Structure 1
Amino acid sequence: MFRPAQTGHDDPVDETPTGRSRPRNSAQRPDPQSAPPKAAPRKAAPRRAAPATGATPRVRRATKAAAPATGEDAPQAPEEVTMSDTVAEQTPLVPTQKTTAGPSPEDDALVVPSEKPLPEDRYLNRELSWLDFNARVLTLAEDPATPLLERAKFLAIFASNLDEFYMVRVAGLKRRLQTGIPVRRPGFLPPTEQLEQIAERTTALVARQSRVFAEEIAPAMAEEHIHIVRWSELDPAERERMRTSFREQIFPVLTPLAVDPAHPFPYISGLSLNLAVVVRERDGGQELFARIKVPNNVPRFYALDRITRDGVRTVRFLPVEELIAAHLGQLFSGMQVVEHHLFRVTRNAEVELDEDRDEDLLQALERELARRRFGPPVRLEVAASISDHVLELLVRELDMDSHDVLRVPGLLDLTALWEIYNGVDRPALKDPPFVPATHPHFAEGETPRSVFARLRDHDILVHHPYHSFSTSVQRFVEQAAADPHVLAIKLTLYRTSGDSPIVDALVDAAEAGKQVVVLVEVKARFDEKANIGWARTLERAGCHVVYGLVGLKTHTKTALVVRQEGNHIRRYCHVGTGNYHPKTARLYEDYGLLTADPEVGADLTDLFNVLTGYSRQTSYRRLLVAPHGVRRGIIDRIDGEIALGERGLIQLKVNSLVDEEIIDSLYRAGQAGVSVDLIVRGICALRPGVPGMSDNIRVRSVLGRFLEHSRVFRFGRDAAAEYWIGSADLMHRNLDRRVEALVKVTDPAATGELDRMLTLMMSDDTGGFELSGDGTWHRRQGRNPQEVLLRRIVDRAEPTT
C-alpha cells in the first residue's frame, strides 16, 4: 500500500489549461468577505471611490469576469452579502438617479394596486437554475437534428461551463460553509444542502454527457470516418509514428513525481490532466505512487490520417494520455507498472484584491493573478475505472470530501472536443457558414458617406452577429481615429480580442494627437492579464487610461466621439449590450445603438466624467445607470404597467434574472393582469405560471448556434411602448456592484426591429425552452428564431425595417 506523503508543490510552469477558446488562468485564491471598499490613492493612475451621498460602506471585494463560448456570462462569484443584502440599500454607492423618461411612483396619475402577499417559496435556487441552463446546452448536444460536429461542440461548451461553475459558484459556497457567513436572502438554501443537491445533479448531468458521447456522437463520428481511438487500435505503422512523436515531443517534458517520505505529494494545478501511476519493484515489494502531469503545451489529440481501400479519407485521433500511458515503462525504467488512472482537479478561481491598499491596482492584480492557481481544490474528476485505494489517496492528499469526487465514464475533460471541431474540415457536419450583413444604412452607395454623416440623419440599431461588427461599430471607431475633425474619443473596454482593431484604432488616434480616454476594466474575470496588457499598450501610445471606480466593476459598453463641425461641437455615441470584441461579435447575439442624439451625447459625457473624474452626476436624460438607477428605473416602469392592468405589457430579454426586488415587482404585475414575457438565457429565479401568483408570466429560453447575450427591455404596447437596451442583467452584482448603462431607443425603425425580435421569441410557433412553475424546463418545437433572423437580416428574405 502507499506510504503517507506531505503536501508540496511541483514545478510551476505550464499551468495554463488547454482546450480553451481564450487564455485562462487555472485557479485562484478564495475571497474572504469583510467590509465595503473606500477610496485609495494610486501610484500610476488614480483610483477613486464611487461618489456617494453619505458614508461609503467598506468591504473587501473579490474581482470577477465571465466565459468563453460563454465569455462574460460564465457563472459569477458569490454575492457579497454585506453590500447587496444589508448596507448597500441604506448607503448607496452613487446618488439616486432620476430620469425624465417613463412613469414615476411619485406621479399623482399613477395608481398601483394593493399588493397581495407572495409565498415564501416564490424563488428558484440560482445555483440549481444555472445547472438547468447547462442541462439545456446538453439537450442541444443530444438533439440528432443538430449537425454532428455542432453536437460535439455543445458537449465541449457544457464541460467548459461546468468547469467555471465549480471554479466560481461552488467555490463560493464552500467558502461560505467554511467561514459561516450568514445569508439573509429569501429562498436561499444553506450551503451544505446546496452542495449536496449540486453534487447529485452534476453527477446525473455528467452521466448524460458521457452517455450521449459514447453511445451517439462517437459512433456517428465513426460513421463519418472520424475516430477517437485507443493505443491498442493502432496498426504497426501508426504505432511507430506515435512512438516517434512521443520520443521527440512529449518524453523530454514529462516529469514523474514520486510520493514517499522524501517526496511530498505534488501540487496539482487546476484543470490539468494527470496520470496517477502505481508501480513496484519487478521482484515484488511495496506499491509506490507517482503522478505525471499531462503537458498542456501539446495537443490533446494526435491526428492520424488514413486512406481506406475504397479511397475514403479517415481521421483517427489518439488522446495524448493514451500515448503517455503506452510508454510508462520508459518513465519508470526497471519498475513494474501496476495500474494507472487519469484524474483532474478544479480549483477556486477567485482573486482576493484589496483595493484599500495604497498601491498601484495593476501591480496588486498581477500579484494576485500569480497566486490564483494555488486556490483550494473544489472538485476531483477521476476515470470511472479508478481503484478505491488510489482514489482514497487522492482524496486524502487533496483534502477533499467524498461528495467533491466525480467519477466520469469514458473520456475525461470533453472541453477537448473543441480541438476536433476546429481540426476537422467537414462543412457538411457543421452549421452552414454565413457572412454578416452590412447594415443597410451603412451600405456604400455610389457616393460613399461617413458614419457620422449617416448618424446625423437618424439613429442606427445594429444587431450582431447578423449585422457586421466590422462595418458598423468597428468602422465607427476607426473613422473617428482617422478623421481630422474628431477631437476626442472616450470608450469603455471590458473585453476585446488578442489582435483588436479597436485598440489599434485608439492607439492611432492618440498618436495623431487626439484626446483618447479608455476605461480598461482590468478586473474582468479570466481576462485580467490580457486587459493589463492592453492598458499598458494604450498608456504607452499616449491614451489616458483609467481603471474605473474603487469597489465597482465597469461593465457598461459605451463609446463617445467628440467632433468639431464648423463653429460647434457634435457628439456621436455607441451604447451596446456586448463587448468591443470583433471575434465574439460573430458568436454572441448583441444590439448596439449608434446615435448623434444630443441627449445621449450629454448623458455619455456626464457618465465619463463620473468614471474618470470626481463628478457626482445625479440625473440622466436617456440613460439608466447602475449601481442605483437601473433597478429603480425598471421597477418604476413595471409599476407604470401595473397601473394599466390588463392593458399593460412587459417584455424583458436578459441573460439572468435573480434580483428579488425586480422579481417581486414582476409577480405584482402578473397579479394585476399585465402580460409579462421573459426571455432568459441562463439563470431564472422566478416561477412562472403559478396560479394566483404568476398566471400571466411566461418564461422562455433560446439557445443555439449564437450565444443570446443582448439585454432588451420593453414596457407598454404599440406606440406608447418604451424600449431600452444595455449591459445590465437583473442580478445583484449588475445592479449593486457594477457601472451599467441602459439607453432608451426612440428611433421608429429601431423600435420596430426590437418589437419584431421580441414578438418572434415569444411566438407560439417559435421553438426553444419554456419554464414551468415547478422549476422544470420543457423543450418547445417550432421555428428556430436564430435561423429566422439569419434569413430576415442576412439573406434579406424579409425587410429589416
Structure 2
Amino acid sequence: MDDRNPPLERLRFLAFFTKNTDEFFMKRVGGLKQQIDAGVTKTTPDGRTPKEQWVEVLDAARPLFTQQSAYWQSVLKPTLADNGIEICTPAELSDENQAQLRTHFEESILPTLTPLAFDPAHPFPFISNLSLSLAVLSSTGSDEPTFTRIKVPPNQPRFITVPGEADRYVLIEDLIERNLDLLLPDLDIRDVSKFKVTRNAEVRRNEEVAEDLVDMVEDVIEQRRFATVVRLEVDADMPDESLAILKDQLEVADREVFHREGPIDFEDFFELIDHDRPDLKLPAWSPKPHPRLGSVTSEASDETARIFDEIKNGDILAHHPYHSFEGTVQRFLNAAATDPDVLAVKAAIYRTASDSKVIQSLINAADNGKQVAVMVELKARFDEKNNLEWVRQLEEEGIHVAYGTVGLKTHTKTALVVRQEDDGVQLYSHIGTGNYHSGTAKGYSDLGLLTADRDIGFDLTKVFNFFTGPTIDDRFRKLLIAPVTMRERFTEMVRREAEHARAGRRARMVVKVNGLEDPSMVEELYRASMAGVEIDLIVRDICRLRPGIDGLSENITVHSIVGRFLEHARIFYFENGGSPEWYIGSADWMTRNLDYRVEAVTPVEDTQLREQLRFILEASLTDNRRRWLMQSDGTYEPVSSDDESVRDIQEILMTATEAALDNGYGPGMIVDTDLVEEELLVEDAAETETDASPEGSNEASSDTDDEQTYSDGGDASAFDVYADHWYRPDSETYDWAVRTAEGERRYFKTRDGARNRLRTEYE
C-alpha cells in the first residue's frame, strides 16, 4: 500500500482489491475447481496440473487477505479516525447513541431480516454468492445449540451513521449482532460470527447444441446461483461447531476456508469513499471536452452535421477519462440518431451502463427512421442479465439485435454510421479500446478513434455483416480482426522488427495491453529480444513473459502502472526501421482475445495523432510515481523517484489535456517535451527545423561553413566533421538519421533538418 496516497484513495484500493479478488475466485479458481472435478490432469505450459495450480493459488492468496485486514486495522482505520471519520462498534458508543441506533434497527432493519434455522425441522438454507451473513449459535438453555443463518440485507447501507455525528459510523452487521435479542427473543446467544461465500462463475455451456442463445444464457445465470462454493471467508474466531456445519453443508475443503480479522467484505467500503472530504482524496478530475468537438453544444441538425464535418476533416483521437465520453462518443451517436442525412447506425455492445444513453441513442435512431443493427454480447461475464434486458428493450423497439457468434465472444468496441452526403455515401467509424459505458469511462483510461477513413469503414461493414450473417469475409484493408487476421499480422510485425535488428536497422517495440498470456506471442517476443529488438511491455494485469533473462529476454522490460485510473487502453508501436506503425484496439495478447473473441484493432495514421500516442507511451515509460517494474523472477518493484522530480503519467496527461483545451489544440493533448524523454521515433521532425529547405531539400544546398562538395551529395561540412554521427537509414520515409549525444537516433526527411540537428548536438 502506498502511504503517499490520501486515506480515502487507499480505502478505494482496499475495496477494489476485494472486488477484483472476488471475481478472480469466481472465474479463475472456479475454473480450476471445475477442471479438478472433471478429472482433468493435462498440464499448462509451466508444467502444472489444475490441482497443483489450485493449491498454489490458494496458498498465494491467503497472505494477501491477511495483509488487507492488517492494513485496515492497524493503519487505515486509525488514520481515518484521526481525520474525523470513525468506524466504531456499538459498544464504543454512549448509552444515548446505542438507544438511538437500537430504535433505528427496530424500525428500519429488523423488518428486512429473516432468520433461517438449521435443525431437523429446517433444511440448511441456501447461501447466495458473495452474500455477507451471520452464523448464530443459540439455545433455549441446556439444549444443544441451534445454527441460524441471518443474511445481511444487501439493499441497506453497510455504514450506519451514528445519530447526531455525521462522521461516525457502525457497520450494519455489528448493529444486527448487538440487537439480536430483538430478532431472536428468549434465546441464549452463544456465538455470533460473520461469513461470506464465493461461488464458481465458470458454468459449462454448449453453444453448439443450444437451440436459443437467450435461453442458454438465462440458464447459465440460473445455474450460477447454485454453483459450487470455491471460497468460504469466516471470522478468525468462528467456533469449530459453526465452521464444521458450514464446511459440511457447503462442501468446502479446509484449504478453501479463509479466516479474516476485522471486516470480511471491503467492497461496500466504496460507500465511505463518496464522503464529502476532498482533503482526504486526490484532487477531483472532471473529463474535458475534446478541443475539436467542444464547440458543438446543440442537438440542432446544423450542429450535428458539424460533428461529421469535423471528423471528415481529420481523424479524432479521444482519450478517456481525460476527454469526456459524453462529449465525444456519446455525442457522435446522438448526432447519428438525429441527423436527417444518416441512413444507418450499427454498434457492438460488450458492456454498457444500466441506464445507458448509448442504448437510448440507438433507440432514438430507429425511431427517426434509421436502419439500426446492434450486436449485444450476451456472454459478457457478470453482465449477462443487464445485456439481456437491453436486448429485450431493443427488440421491443423493432431494432435488429444479434446476440453473438457461436464459439466466440464479441469484444470489439466499434460503431459505424452510414451517411448520405453530396459526394455520395460516407462511412464514419468509431474503434475503441473501452466499452460503451459512461461509468467506466470516468475511471478507466481508454482510447477511441473517430474516423471517416473509407477503408476502415468498409472493414467495419464486413465485421457487422459477420455478426448478422453466416460467415466472415477475411479480406480486410486496414483493420486487424480476430480471430481472422490479427494473430498472423501481429506475429508478422514482431518478426519484422527482429529482421530489422538483425540487419542493423533500428528496431523497437512498445506494447501496452491489459494482459500478455498467449504462449506463441511470448515466444515471438523472446525471439525478437534475442535478435536485438528493444522491447517495452506495459502490462496492467497478467504477464506470462519474464524479462531480463540473459540470452533470452535481456532486451525486454515489463512495466505496470497502478494509478487513480485503471489503465485499460491497448496501444501497439512498431518502429519498423524508421517507418513506424501505430495501432489501438480492443485486443490483449491473450489466447482468448486472439483466437476465441471477435476483436478489432485499427491503425492510427495521422501524424499528429501518432504524436499523441507517442506522448502517452513515453510519459508511461518515464513515470516514477505509479510505475512498477517486473523482475526476472516475476515479482514487481516500484520505480523510485529518488531525488528526481515526480513524473506521474496520469497527472501529466490531465495537465496536457487541460492545456490543449485552453489553447484550442486540436489533437487533444499538448505534448510537454520537458516531461518525457524522446525514446520513440519523432515523425516529420524536419518540418519543425527553422531553416528546413522546401520540398526536394535532399538536393545540394549552400553551406557557408565550407563550399566544398562532399561524397554524401551535399556541400555542408557538418556531415564530414560529424561523419560518425549520421547515416542514411533503410527507410522509404526518412532519408537521414542523426545519432544524438545521448546515443539516441532522430530521423529526418530533409537534409537541412539533419544538418541542423548535427550542429545543435555537437557544435
Match of 1:791 in 2: 655
Native 8 Å contact 1:383 1:409 kept in 2: yes
Q: Is the Cα–Cα contact under 8 Å of residues 305 and 315 in structure 1 kept in the other structure?
A: no
Secondary structure, aligned partner of 2:438: coil
Show the counterpart of 1:724.
583
| Range with bigger deviation, 622-631 or 164-173 | 622-631
For the Cα contact (< 8 Å) 1:377–1:398, is it kept in 2? yes
**SS in structure 1 opposite 2:292?**
helix
Q: Deviations over 1:576-632 (max 9, x none)?
A: 101111121111101101100111111111111122113430211111111132111
Report the alpha carbon displacement of residue 440 of structure 1 after superposing the two structures with TM.
1.8
Shift of 1:652: 0.4
How far apart, in 1, do the equivalents of 2:249 and 2:193 lie?
Answer: 16
272, 279, 287: which one pairs with 2:145?
287
Alignment of 1:358-397 (within 5 A): 359-397=211-249
1:151 alignment partner, one of 10, 23, 34: 10
Which residue does 2:191 correspond to in 1?
339
Which residue is equivalent to 1:505? 361
Between the aligned partners of 2:623 and 2:570, the Cα distance in structure 1 is: 22
- Identity of paired residues, percent? 44
Q: Do structure 1's residue 640 and structure 2's residue 496 form an aligned pair?
A: yes
Match of 2:628 among 769, 777, 801: 769
Match of 1:436 among 276, 287, 295: 287
Contact 1:299 1:320 survives alignment (8 Å): yes
Per the alignment, residue 319 of structure 1 pairs with 171
Give distance in 1, aligned partners of 2:226 and 2:45: 34
Residue ranges of structure 1 left out of the alignment (5+ in a row): 1-141, 308-313
Deviations 1:88-108 (A, max 9, x none): xxxxxxxxxxxxxxxxxxxxx
Instruction: Decide which of 402, 424, 430 is 1:546's aligned counterpart.
Output: 402
Instruction: Trace 1:126-525 onto structure 2 (pairs within 5 A).
Output: 142-282=1-141, 284-304=142-162, 306=164, 315-357=167-209, 359-422=211-274, 424-444=275-295, 450-525=306-381
SS in 1 for 2:572: strand
Bigger Rg over Cα: 2
Tell me: higher relative CO, structure 1 or 2? Use CA pairs within 8 A at least 6 residues apart.
1
Give the secondary-structure state (helix, strand or coil) at the position aligned to 1:468: coil
Judged with a 3 Å threshold, the aligned counterparts in structure 2 of structure 1 residues 277 and 742 are, in CA distance, closer, same or farther, namely: same
**Aligned-residue offset at 1:417:** 0.8
3-state SS of paired residue (2:608): helix
Aligned counterparts of 1:258 and 1:745: Cα–Cα separation in 2:
62
Contact 1:793 / 1:800 at 8 angstroms: preserved in 2?
no
CA-CA distance at 1:226 after TM superposition: 0.7
Structure 2: distance between partners of 1:549 and 1:513: 27
| Counterpart code for 1:368 | V
**Matched residues, number:** 652
SS of the aligned residue for 1:329 comes to helix
Once residues 444 and 522 of structure 1 are traced to their aligned partners in structure 2, the CA distance between those partners, rounded to angstroms, is 37
Q: Contact (CA 8 Å) 1:642, 1:648: kept in 2 or not?
A: yes
Instruction: Tell me which amino acid in the other structure corresponds to 2:528.
Output: A
Please state how far the C-alpha of 1:225 moved relative to its aligned partner. 1.2
For 2:498, the aligned partner's letter is: I
Partner of residue 598, structure 2:
739
Q: Which residue of 1 aligns with 2:731?
A: none
The gaps in structure 2 that reach 5 residues or longer are 642-646, 663-668, 673-763
Indicate the SS of the match to 2:197.
strand
| SS of the residue 1:507 aligns to | helix
Q: Tell me the distance in 1 between the aligned counterparts of 2:537 and 2:349.
A: 29
**Aligned-partner Cα distance in 1 for 2:162–2:385:** 36
How far is 1:270 from its partner? 1.2
Deviates more, 1:359-368 or 1:502-511: 359-368
User: Is the deviation greater in 185-194 or in 744-753?
Assistant: 185-194
- Superposed CA deviations along residues 477-506 of structure 1, whole A, max 9, x for unmatched, are 111111100000111011111221111111
The AA in structure 1 aligned to 2:268 is: A
SS at match of 1:505: helix
Shift in Å, 1:191: 2.2
Q: Which amino acid in 1 is paired with 2:670?
A: P
Q: Match of 1:356, SS? A: coil
Residues 1-42 of structure 1, C-alpha deviation per residue, up to 9 Å, x if partnerless? xxxxxxxxxxxxxxxxxxxxxxxxxxxxxxxxxxxxxxxxxx
Residue 717 of structure 1 and its aligned partner are, at CA, apart by: 5.7
Are 1:681 and 1:701, in contact at CA under 8 Å, matched by a contact in 2? Answer: yes
Give the superposed CA RMSD: 1.8
- Matches of 1:765 and 1:412, distance apart in 2: 34
Q: Give CA-to-partner distance per residue, 1:253-293, whole Å, 9 cap, x none.
A: 222222222222222111111111111223x2322222212
Once the two structures are superposed, residues 700-755 of structure 1 have per-residue CA deviations (whole angstroms, 9 ceiling, x without a partner) of 00011101001111111685110011101111111111000110110111111111
The letter of the residue matching 1:403 is R
Moved more, 637-646 or 193-202: 193-202
Which is worse superposed, 348-357 or 439-448? 439-448
Equivalences for residues 606-685 of structure 1 within 5 A: 606-645=462-501, 647-685=506-544
Whether 2:454 is the aligned partner of 1:602: answer no
Distance, in Å, in 2 between the alignment partners of 1:637 and 1:174 is: 38
Q: Where do residues 571-610 of structure 1 align in structure 2 (5 Å cutoff)?
A: 571-610=427-466
One of 781, 791, 800 as aligned partner of 2:640:
781
Which stretch of the first structure deviates more once superposed, 612-621 or 353-362?
353-362
Task: Give the structure-2-normalised TM-score.
Answer: 0.83
Shift of 1:224: 1.2
Structure 1 letter corresponding to 2:475: S
Q: TM-score, normalised by structure 1?
A: 0.79
| Alpha-carbon distance in structure 1 between the residues aligned to 2:236 and 2:543 | 33
Note the C-alpha offset of 1:654.
0.3
SS at match of 2:351: coil
- 8 Å contact from structure 1 (residues 306, 315) kept in 2: no
**What is the one-letter code of the residue matched to 1:426?**
R
